[in-house]
Structures are given as C-alpha cells and as structure tokens.
Amino acid sequence: MTSAHAHRDVKDLAESYDVIVIGAGPAGLSAATTVSTFGAQTLLVDENQTPGGQIYRSILLAQAADRRRLGGDYWRGREIAEAFTRSGVHYAPATTAWSIGPQHDEQGQVIGHEVGVSANGTARLIRAKQVVLATGALERPFPIPGWTLPGVMTAGAAQIALKSSGLIPEGRVVIAGTGPLLYLLAAQLIDAGADVSAVLDTTPKENWLKALRHVPAFLVSPYVAKGLRLLRKVHRRTKVVRWVSALSAEGAGMLKEIVWIADGQEHRMTADLLLLHQGVVPNINFSNAIGCKHAWDEMQLAFRPWIDDWYETSVAGIAIAGDGAGIRGADAAALQGSLAGLGCAGRLGLIGSDDRDRHAAPLKAQLAEVTRGRNFLDTLYQPSRSFRIPQNPDTIVCRCEEVSAGKVRESVRAGAIGPNQMKVFLRSGMGPCQGRFCGLTVTELIADERNVSPEKIGYYRLRFPIKPLKLRELASLPQSDSAKIAVLADLADTHHSKSQ
Amino acid sequence: MHREPDIVVIGGGLMGACVAWGLARRNLRVCVLDEGDIALRASRANFALIWVQGKGLGFPAYAAWTKTAAADWPRFAADLESDTGIDVGLDQPGGFTLCLSDRELQASVDALEQLREQSGALAHPYEVLDHAQTKMRLPAIGPDVTGAIYCPLDGHVNSLRLFRALHAALLSRGVDYRAEHAVDTVEPRDGVFIVKGTWGEIRAPKVVLAAGLGNAGLAPMVGLDAPMKASRGQIVVTEKASRFLRYPIVTLRQTDEGGVMIGDSEEANGASLAVDHAISSVMADRAIRMFPLLADLNVVRTWSAFRVMTLDGYPIYDQSQAYPGAFIAMAHSGVTLASRHATILADAIAAGTIPEEVSAFATRRFHVSACA
Amino acid sequence: MFRRAPDRIRDQFTFTFDGMPITASTGDSVAAALLAAGIRACRTTPVSGAPRGPYCMMGVCFECLVRIDGVGNRQGCLIPVREGMKVETQKGSHVLTVEQGS
C-alpha cells in the first residue's frame, strides 16, 4: 500500500474511485482511513491546506507551544491525522467539492455518483461508487443588531486564527453567547495571553431547570470534569456576566461598543473585538442540494439529514458522518467516520456483514460512551428564542443580501409562506453564502410568524454549485452531443468547443 | 367569514397572479389557490425576458399578441407600481441574438425573413449586424461573435420583483390568496364549480385553471384539455458583477442587481430536475465566447425547471364548451405576456366571452388539421 | 485586535493590501494575515456599500472577499497568502472591465 500523498492539481486525480470522502475533519479522516484498509480505492477531498478540519485544524503543523496553548483534546487529532497519512488514501487538499449528482449507465440506472471538484481554477467531475460527506458543522447564526460590523466575528473564527496562525486577540475582547465551546474558547484565549474583558453568557436561567433531569447521565460523562475546570478558570480570570437577555453591537462601520441587558439593566462597554457563539449546527448544504431527506431536531433546533445505522442517507450511496449528521462532537465524529467507512466497505462487498458488525461493535460501544451527557449539554445550551428569532425588526438576518427580520415577517404576511417563496420575495439566502448564515433564522422567523413548527416550514432548497465556481471552470467540463443539442438544437454542430 | 368568491383562480404563479389581479381590478371577488413552498414553479425559474424577436412564425396571431404585449408592458408596470409601490425594473432597450458562427447568423436571418413574409407590415422591426456593428453597440463582445440580430422591441424586467409585486397587488386588491391549497379536483355541478383539495373545498360560479403543468390533470375535469410536451430548461447564474450589459441577449442577461443569468437550453425531459453539467458547460462556454470578461465570474447557482410548454409551444386560452364558466390559461412566456394576461385575458374571463384576438389560442387548434 | 504568538512568527514575507506593504508569516491565509496586521474591514457589500470583514474564517460566510492579483471576490480565509501578492479591498460587486476579457 502506498502512503497518502497530496495531489495539488486536480488533473492528477483518477477518473473514478470506489469511495470519495469530502471533508478532512475527524469523521472524514476516519472514514477514509477505515474504508481504505479494506482495499477500497479512496479519495479524500478537503477545502483546507492540511488535514484536521476545524477542530484539529493545522494539527500536523502544530508544535509543542501549540499543544500547550490548545490542550490535550486538540492534540488527540494528531493520531487520527497521522493514521490517515499512513493510509493509501488519495488526498486532494485545498480542493472544493461543489456538486454531487447521480451517474447513470446507458439504461439510465443509477450506478454511482459524480462529484464536482475544483482546485486552483480547474474543475473536474470524478466518479465514485460511494460518497461519504464529512462536512461537519458551522456556527449557528447569531443575528443580533450590529453582527455584520467589522470587529464582530464568530468564536470559531478566533479559534481558527489561533490554531492556524497563532493569532491572539488583543485590546478589549468580549466573548458572548452560550454553549460548551464558549468557555473552552475563553479559557484557551486567556491561556494564550489574550485580554478577555468579559464573557457575556446568554444561557437562559430556565435552561438549568430543564437540564436537571439529564444531570445523572452528565455526571458520569467525560464532559463533567473538563467542563467544571473550564468554568472555574474563566470565572477566576475574567468578568463573567450571566443571564444576558439582549445584546447588540454598535459602531459606525466598525465595532465600537457592545450593549447588553442583564437582570433588566442595560450595560455598555467599548470593545475592539466581539466573538459570538451559540452552538454549532450541521452544515447541510450538500445533503440538501443532493436531495437527502432531512428532519427538524427539536433538541438541537436545526435540520439534520436522515441516516441509517451505517450513516447512509435516504439517497443510496451517500453517507454522512460526524457533526453534519447531528452535533455530537469530535470524539463521536471520529467513531462515526469509522462506522461509515465500515458501511461503505460492506456496500462495496469488500467485507461481509458479520465481519463488518464485529469491527463495528467496539466502535458503537465507545460511541455510546463519548456521547453520554450530551442531552444535558444540548438542553442547557439550547439558545434562547430571542437570540434565534430576532425581535428587533431592523436586525439583519441575511447578511449577504442585507435582509432584515422585519422584512421577512412582512413578506410572510404578503404570501411568502416558506423559505423558497421568501427567496423570490427578498433574495434572502441567494447571496454567496447560500443561506448558511440565514437559513435557520428565516425558517424559524416564518414558523414564528405563522405559528407552525419549523419542521413544517422546511428549509431553502439549495442548488449546485454549493460553493462558487468560476464560469470558465464550468465551461471546461465535458460537453456531450446531447448537451450541445439541448442548447443549440440543429445548429449544435456549429459549436466548436475549445479542446483544452 | 369568506363570502363565496365570484371566481376561483387555480395557480399563484405569474399567470394566475396576473389574471387574478386583472379580475380584482374589475371589482370581482377573487380567490387564488396556490401550492406550497416547494412546487414545480416555472414562475420562480424564468429568464425574465420581454421578448418579441422571432416569435410567431407559423402563428400570426401569436406574433401580434406578443408584440402588443411588449408594447403594453410600460402601462402594466406603471399600474403595478401604483398599486404596490414596487418598481419591477422594466427596461426595453431592444434585445440581441448573438451568433457564434455564420451558420447561426444565417439561420436567424432566414427565420426572421420568413416571419416578415408571413406578417407583412405587422412584422416586428429588426437589424442584422456584423461583428464590427455589434461591437459598436456591445463593446464587451469577444472575437468569436460573428454577428447579431437586434430587435428594438425586446426588453427585460426583474422577475423576482415582478413576482413580489403581483403578490403585493393581490393583497392590495383584497384577493383571497391561499397558499398550501393544492387542488385535487374540480367538479362542475349545477352551474357552479366545486374545487377540492386536502384542505377542504370552495365553490364559485367561475374557475380559471392557471396551474401551469398542473393544468394537464385538471383540464379534463371541466371538459377542457391541455395537451403538453415535456420541456426542460437549465439556467446558470453568477454572482453580482458591475454593470457591463444593459441589453438583454436571448441567452444571457445581467439583472439590475448585477447577477448574470445564462440560459437557455431545451430538452424533451419531463422526468428529472437534476442539473446536467454538460449542458451548463456548453452554456458557460458560449457565454464566455460572447463576453470573454465573464470568464472569472463566480457561478453561484444552476438550476433546471420544466417549462409550461403546450404541444405546439403557443399559449392556450379557452373556455369550456361543456361547462361554461371554466377557463384555462397557460403560456410559456408568462413574463412577456403578463400585460395581456392581466388585461385582455382577465377582461375576457370577466365577461365570459373570448374575443376574436384571443380565440386563435383555443384548444380546438389541436383537434383540427395541423395547419394551426 | 490580534497579535501573533512569538513562536508562530515564521519565515516572514511581504504582500500588499491596497498598495500598503504587510508582513505575513508562512501558513497564513490572506484573511489571517490581514487580521494580524490590524485590518478589520476588507470589502464593502454590493447591496448597501457597508464595510465588512472576516467573520467565520472557515470558508462559509463569504465576508472576507477580496481582490487578489486582479481577480475579484476571492475568499481570503481559504487562500494562503504569498510573497508579493497584490490584495485589494473588494468594493461592492465583482468589477468587470472590457480590457480584462480581451
């Protein structure tokens, strides 16, 4: 078996693979490594320069100082990335996957998938019998007044800057929101020497009550000791403001001041950097555009794709592992990736079902172990209504097209009863981010205005390319005779395509 | 609390909304039954051209109908704006067909000459331009453009704002618009029509089938028919770019918001909406040869949609002989013809008689000789 | 608003932002290098002209769009910055000029 080697140029990739894995976080790395050990020709496509995803970003480049700064949990990614490096998986870093469509045989039967990839201005369609999406999570939208001002970023962004470039926030830094990552980031930044002026905790009081019944499972979970240690550290080293019920960022073209309400009182603080976080949600752009079935998760307040025991979606040959299938965290993602890899190996006939199940049993046991206590966290850190469904009509909801919450509500009353009609009315979700930072907000706003469940409202129907592609790249893809006829009818033979 | 409407319009796309608005302006109580958020909405996928050039070869009434539709668009847009305050971005500077080979140009010229012979003085004006003449008017064209046809009557609108304006207009005229009211059956009984869906039923003395592709199933229920053929089109859309093109090109236009739309393919496919990258590639390739400066623009969306395409490609407007009061209205060119649908067609439906100008579009043309 | 951990100052080189020379470290993305240099806004929106800066740093928000070596609307957080790179503020929508295509 050859060791994984980077193909900088998509031109070097094979025409087809047994398995294409998209995403090089813990789920993708594990899926690719696992399935390739059973002899599957495997390609892993990832947008970043090096393996690790967001959670283990730059892990193979990290030095002792990074380990001290980022902690043991981060360092755990090294083993996963190194195992991948030793595997026979073909690796395409700095490569964007932008579409997945069915591949048909001459009788029109679906025999696999065709994955659109692009790097350095060259696009190609690569075939695969099985595809594993490991595209992870993204920050839940945090639509507050002023969240579009330069100087306001996601907490995850600060963590990425810390991991990939060793950037440490300085000046007056405020971290606001809710969720386990909030305190983790605060602790990491404080350890790295950042001046964190305040942590504004938006966790609603009533969540503690609701979370009580999940305490027993939580107490025996791996989160407990870690969580308490973080909380203590943050409380000792910076000002923590609890029960924040409203928040906004102010400034003329640049963040100047943060305004919040806690215990009925308005407070102000000048700030240079505001880091927002209220949990992460599955990144469903790919699975949505493919047409996989999704359901609304009432606990995590997000849509997630339907999957079976082997992480296969409602579309045969497309599996989703890791946070993209529902938020379970990095340790669970790695295990899910291995299980999805076993599932692929089984569907490819590289492994019998008995063998597959035998390999899977210990992984499933570990998965149950590492996800224990998750219900407590999900309940405690469920972001409050007012931070998900903007109350102020002027708050921007769609950052790209600059659509406000008030406009969305108005349009519901004018007949735009769902997110796709809303696109037509307001262009919300039609900018370059393709709804990633407004989709959930728009769904919940419409649901609120119509007084029905988000499940019933549904989500944007997304279109390929799910990441932008240059027109010249699209023009370079193979052109069939039937395609020329579709565009030019009986003049099709006059179309002399460039032979690049 | 809803009184029985005078008329039920089935379909809330461009056709249904135009007809409903027209009827409401004539003070009729109108109820529009529309589908939900996810539906085969040709109105959401259109190319937003108001296009006269080359239309109506073999069907003079259609050539005339299209021409008057374009001529009447400014008034239609102004009326919409006065009802809603929404400017639909109408611009009719004339439009081009850009040709990338002499044969393409010749094919266009031949078709237009035939059209001129057919329609005589009523034929639309046009100019045939060579590369240099085209470049004078469209400086961004590439060397592969061999020539162009220019017709001064063509134009375009912002189709998203048009859609929104029509909805706002329905609201302002008190139309009872009901989303998530897909219609399963229409039953004629004792001079009224009972329109039913999983949501319940509603009755009215008149009904308009404006359900696009859905008309094929509904029409036979009221003694009408809607012979259709499968037609799938694909569109590529880029990110917003600075203004480089005011004129609509039949296969390419820049919206007033800056995005570039590239169309338009046609396949006899009524089964799958999966985007065919090979078709996108041909369209993208031609777009770059027409305007090389587009090569580095980012594509943000591609999609395919089924056209509302009748068997011969021309509109169908008709009233049921067996059940008078039941009307059918469907057309592929829902944007171009919007000004007719909201006025003359709505008037005809309100009056209950189809005037001469519209009678050529009755379905009997499919049952007599093929000369129509 | 950011400073760099001393152990991460590596193989420094220079690129320009709107003509201004900026020092970057090997491994930086364009967006990270701009943040390290104290630059918060890197574009204005095509809709209202409002200034925007890097927001997610992971390729999904499209707020860090910049012009790089003459090509508009590139995602600064996904592109490694290189010596001599000419990075510019993305002002509104992608600028098309006739010369660019000929």
Burial class of residue B110 (count of CB atoms within 10 Å of its CB; 0-12, 13-18, 19+): exposed
Partners of C45 on chain B (C-beta within 8 Å) are none
Q: DSSP readout, A456-479? A: HH------S-SS-EEHHHHHTS--
**CB atoms C56 and A153 under 8 Å:** yes
Residue of chain C nearest A95, judged by CA positions: C78
Which chains have 3 or more CB–CB distances shorter than 8 Å to chain C? A, B
Q: What domain count does chain A have? A: 3
Taking CA atoms, A386 is separated from A201, A204, A244, A255, A408, in Å, by 14, 10, 11, 22, 16
Which residues, 6+ apart, have CB-to-CB distance to A107 below 8 Å?
Answer: none
pLDDT tier at C10, thresholds 50, 70, 90: confident
Per-residue pLDDT at B372: 38
Q: State both tokens at A260.
A: 């919040």
Which residues, 6+ apart, have CB-to-CB distance to B253 below 8 Å?
Answer: B47, B48, B49, B156, B245, B260, B261
Q: Which long-range contacts (CB under 8 A, 24 or more apart) does A111-114 make?
A: A112/A16, A112/A317, A113/A20, A113/A317, A113/A318, A114/B277
Which amino acid belongs to residue A303?
Answer: F
Pair A272, A150: CB distance under 8 Å: no
Partners of C62 on chain B (C-beta within 8 Å) are none
Q: Are residues A207 and A329 in the same domain?
A: no
Could you give the CA distance from residue B210 to residue C85 in angstroms, rounded to a whole number?
56
For tokens 């295990």, the residue is A335
* Average pLDDT over all residues of chain B: 93
What pTM, to 2 d.p., does this model score?
Answer: 0.95
Could you give the CA distance from residue A482 to residue B73 in angstroms, rounded to a whole number?
36
Q: Are residues A288 and A272 in the same domain?
A: no
Taking CA atoms, A101 is separated from A126, A206, A209, B364, in Å, by 10, 45, 46, 42
**CB atoms C101 and B240 under 8 Å:** no
**CB atoms B299 and A465 under 8 Å:** yes
CATH of the domain at A225: 3.50.50.60
- Pairing status of strand A173-178 against strand A196-201: parallel
Could you give the CA distance from residue A498 to residue A492 in angstroms, rounded to a whole number?
14
Q: Kindly state whether residue A438 falls inside one of the protein's structural domains.
A: yes
The fourth-level CATH superfamily of domain B95-155+229-306 is D-Amino Acid Oxidase, subunit A, domain 2 (3.30.9.10)
Asked whether residue A2 carries a pLDDT value surpassing 50, the answer given is no
User: Which among C7, C29, C55 is the nearest to A153, CB-wise?
Assistant: C55
Range of the domain at A215: 141-278
Could you give the CA distance from residue A255 to residue A267 in angstroms, rounded to a whole number?
16
> In C, residues 61-90, which contact A (CB 8 Å cutoff)?
61-63, 65, 73, 77-78, 80
Q: Which of C96, C97, C102 to mutate to test the interface with B (most CBs of B within 10 A)?
A: C96
Contact status of A170 with chain C (Cβ, < 8 Å): yes
Q: State both tokens at A488.
A: 């030019």
Could you give the CA distance from residue A245 to residue A273 in angstroms, rounded to a whole number?
20
In chain B, domain spans: 7-52+160-228+311-366, 95-155+229-306
Q: Kindly state whether residue A465 falls inside one of the protein's structural domains.
A: no
Q: What is the pLDDT of residues A113-169, one digit of tens each?
A: 999 999 999 999 999 999 999 999 999 999 999 999 999 999 999 999 999 999 999
Q: Which of B130, B328, B108 is nearest to B212 (CA)?
A: B328
Which residues, 6+ apart, have CB-to-CB distance to B233 below 8 Å?
Answer: B45, B263, B264, B265, B266, B267, B304, B305, B307
Which amino acid belongs to residue B142?
Answer: G
The H or E element spanning position A181 is helix A180-191
Contact status of C3 with chain A (Cβ, < 8 Å): yes
Burial class of residue A417 (count of CB atoms within 10 Å of its CB; 0-12, 13-18, 19+): buried
Could you give the CA distance from residue B115 to residue B107 in angstroms, rounded to a whole number?
12
Could you give the CA distance from residue A138 to residue A324 in angstroms, rounded to a whole number?
9
Region B18-33: mean pLDDT is 97
**CB atoms B179 and A125 under 8 Å:** no
Lowest mean pLDDT among A249-253, A282-286, A361-365, B273-277: B273-277
Partners of A420 on chain B (C-beta within 8 Å) are 37-38, 44
Task: Write the DSSP symbol of residue A433.
Answer: T
Which chains have 3 or more CB–CB distances shorter than 8 Å to chain A? B, C
The H or E element spanning position A157 is helix A155-165
Q: Out of 3.40.1410.10, 2.30.110.10, 3.10.20.440, 2.60.40.10, select the CATH number for domain C13-91.
A: 3.10.20.440
Task: Say if B7-52+160-228+311-366 and B95-155+229-306 have the same CATH topology.
Answer: no
Which amino acid belongs to residue A462?
Answer: L
Per-residue pLDDT at A227: 82
Q: State both tokens at A262.
A: 């806690």
Asked whether residue B370 carries a pLDDT value surpassing 50, the answer given is no
Q: State both tokens at A80.
A: 């996963």
Q: Are residues A257 and A156 in the same domain?
A: yes
Q: Which of A128, A142, A384, A137 is nearest to A242 (CA)?
A: A384
Q: What is the pLDDT of residues A354-412, one digit of tens each?
A: 999 999 999 999 999 999 888 899 999 999 999 999 999 999 999 999 999 999 999 99
Could you give the CA distance from residue B176 to residue B29 in angstroms, rounded to a whole number?
8
Q: Kindly state whether residue A359 falls inside one of the protein's structural domains.
A: no
Q: Kindly state whether residue A491 falls inside one of the protein's structural domains.
A: no
CA A59 to chain C, closest CA, distance in angstroms equals 12
Q: Which of A93, A490, A208 is nearest to B106 (CA)?
A: A490
User: Which among A420, A432, A479 is the nearest to B282, CB-wise?
Assistant: A479
User: Which among A463, A477, A494 is the nearest to B277, CB-wise?
Assistant: A477
**CB atoms B240 and C94 under 8 Å:** yes
Which residues, 6+ apart, have CB-to-CB distance to A414 below 8 Å?
Answer: A425, B164, B167, B168, B171
Contact status of A116 with chain B (Cβ, < 8 Å): yes
CATH of the domain at A423: 1.10.10.1100
Q: State both tokens at C51.
A: 């200034």
Q: Is the bond leading into B152 cis (omega within 30 degrees of zero)? A: no
CA C10 to chain A, closest CA, distance in angstroms equals 10
Q: What is the pLDDT of residues A425-457, one digit of tens each?
A: 999 999 999 999 999 999 999 999 999 999 999
% of chain A residues with pLDDT over 70:
97
Taking CA atoms, A288 is separated from A226, A423, A463, C19, in Å, by 35, 16, 8, 42
- Pairing status of strand B30-33 against strand B7-10: parallel
Pair B263, B235: CB distance under 8 Å: yes
Which is higher by pLDDT, B308 or A350?
A350
> In C, residues 11-70, which contact A (CB 8 Å cutoff)?
25, 27-29, 32-33, 35-36, 40-41, 45, 47-48, 50-63, 65
Q: Kindly state whether residue A222 falls inside one of the protein's structural domains.
A: yes
Q: Kindly state whether residue A367 falls inside one of the protein's structural domains.
A: no
User: Which among A63, A164, A437 is the nearest to C29, CB-wise?
Assistant: A164
Q: Are residues A149 and A273 in the same domain?
A: yes
Q: Are residues A119 and A182 in the same domain?
A: no
Helical H runs in chain B? 14-25, 60-84, 102-119, 131-137, 159-172, 215-218, 277-290, 338-340, 346-351, 356-359
C-alpha B314 chain-centroid distance: 11
- Cα B51-B55-B60 angle, rounded to 5 deg: 130
Task: Write the DSSP symbol of residue A119.
Answer: E
Q: Are residues A258 and A286 in the same domain?
A: no
Task: Write the DSSP symbol of residue B41.
Answer: -
Q: Which of C38, C10, C8, C14 is nearest to C26 (CA)?
A: C10
ipTM for the complex?
0.96
Q: What is the pLDDT of residues C29-74, one digit of tens each?
A: 999 999 999 999 999 999 999 999 999 999 999 999 999 999 999 9
Looking at the DSSP assignment, which residues form a beta bridge with residue B200?
A: B197
Contact status of B295 with chain C (Cβ, < 8 Å): yes
Per-residue pLDDT at A4: 55
Partners of C46 on chain B (C-beta within 8 Å) are 240, 257-258
pLDDT tier at B369, thresholds 50, 70, 90: low
Contact status of A110 with chain B (Cβ, < 8 Å): no
Residue of chain B nearest C94, judged by CA positions: B241
Which residues, 6+ apart, have CB-to-CB distance to A220 below 8 Å?
Answer: A372, A373
CATH code of B7-52+160-228+311-366, in short, is: 3.50.50.60
**CB atoms C98 and B140 under 8 Å:** yes
